[in-house]
Amino acid sequence: MVRVKKQQNKIDSIVDFFKKKKSATVALYIHESPDIDAISSQFAFKYFLGKINPKLKVCAVKPHPIHPSVKAYSRKLDFNFDKLSKNPDIAVLLDASTMSLLPYPELEEIETKVIIDHHSGDDIKTDSSLSLIDTDAISCTEIVYNFFKKYEIAIPQNLAAAMAAGIIADSARFHVSTPDAFKAIAELQEISKKKYVDLIHLISSEPDLSRKIAQLKAAQRLKMYKVDDFLFATSYVGAFESNSASALVYLGADVSFVLSDNKDSFVVSSRASSAFISKTGLDLGKLMGTVGMKLGGTGGGHPGAAAFSFHDGGKEQQALQMCLDELLNFLKQRKIVKKEQTLHIH
């Protein structure tokens, strides 16, 4: 709580500053390509300022570029960005304390800037009483939450869910967290009346329709091969070959190879389960590099995820067979399967 106490004076001076304004247009800016924390703190602070001083015109400035998953998140929560009709009097910079992350030309002309952030930055000139930077905070949303606490402003249910999501996202789902973040989350979750799994759903983006279709087609068209207790799968799709290859491993294949026809070239993407990799020492990056080269293409990647591309039309079926052969050879060389073993369609 010592850390939160450190924030208190700054919270007071920032709130005093806004309370005294008779009228003003306040624009809330967040960093380019914003994440969930940035969006959540923007909308939470907009709500807070509206409660503290209803005479203010508060605008959530639309960030750009905005990733489809973040767009989907703000849509789910019914967050709408505001258009600036004139240059604002005051800018609030949330989750972004360096100008390099703020590509908004009008910002240069706005003299009064308020900074609320958990990143360090020192290239923005502002009155120190209006700059609350706490680099120990896990998320910017958590700092905004402390404004609500200090001034006892009730947080609506929907906003509480968004604020919880902001903290969960920036804590990498609690891989990094602090007692303060946990306390904030506990209270926000309670207000939101949402299950933790629903808060997680809020920050996880749904794959789009074409990706889901590709993955299901890959499953529908798959050929399954068995040697000893290992199962390998091959399939083909029009696009999303890497997602499809992952989907097949998720379904139960130890290793999958999925081909796609990318108009002027072909791609084979491959995935292996982590259990299979640790059991066999397979490096798909090497394997796919080798097969790709044999087909006059190029390839590579990681032990569990790799791909190659080639141009030779008519060799699609052969490419998948070569992957399987190379994999079987590898297992034989390592004496994981016996020399006389063959792959058979299951």
Provide, rounded to whole angstroms, the least separation between the CB of residue 152 and Mn ion. 25
Q: Which residue is nearest to Mn ion (CB)?
A: 37
Q: Minimum Å distance from CB 244 to Mn ion?
A: 33
Q: Which is nearer to Mn ion, 143 or 237 (CB)?
A: 143
- Minimum CB distance to Mn ion, residue 138 (Å): 8
Residue 44 Cα distances to 98, 155, 205, 279, angstroms: 21, 9, 21, 48
Among 111, 98, 110, smallest CA distance to 30 is for: 98
What's the closest the beta carbon of residue 82 comes to Mn ion, in angstroms?
Answer: 21
* Closest to 207 (Cα-Cα) out of 163, 147, 164, 247: 247
Helix (H) or strand (E) holding 337: none
| Pick 34 or 285: Cβ nearer Mn ion | 34
If the CB atoms of residues 119 and 332 are measured against Mn ion, the closer one turns out to be 119
Cβ at position 339, least distance to Mn ion in Å: 56
Q: How far is the CB of 119 from Mn ion (least distance, A)?
A: 7
Q: Which two tokens stand for residue 156?
A: 């609506």
Comparing CB distances to Mn ion, the nearer of 42 and 244 is 42
**225, 233 Cβ separation under 8 angstroms:** yes
Q: What is the distance between the alpha carbons of residues 22 and 48, in angstroms, rounded to a whole number?
A: 17
Q: Output the DSSP codes for 143-182.
A: HHHHHHHHTTPPPPHHHHHHHHHHHHHHTTTTTS--HHHH
Q: Helix (H, G, I), strand (E, B), or coil: what is residue 83?
A: coil
Nearer to Mn ion, 140 or 268 (CB): 140
Distance between CA atoms of residues 193 and 154, nearest Å: 14
Strand order of the β-sheet with 90-94 is: 56-60, 24-30, 90-94, 112-117, 131-133
Nearer to Mn ion, 117 or 254 (CB): 117
Residues within the interface to Mn ion (CB under 5 A): 37, 95, 140, 170
Nearest distance from C-beta of residue 36 to Mn ion, angstroms: 9
Q: Which has the closest alpha carbon to 135: 122, 123, 124, 126?
A: 122
24 C-beta neighbours (distance < 10 Å), count: 16
Q: Are the CB atoms for 60 and 162 separated by under 8 Å? A: no
Our CB check for Mn ion shows the closer of 92 and 287 to be: 92
- The residue (of 95 and 241) whose beta carbon lies closer to Mn ion is 95
Any idea which residue has 């939450």 for tokens?
145
Supply the minimum distance, in Å, between the C-beta of residue 96 and Mn ion: 9
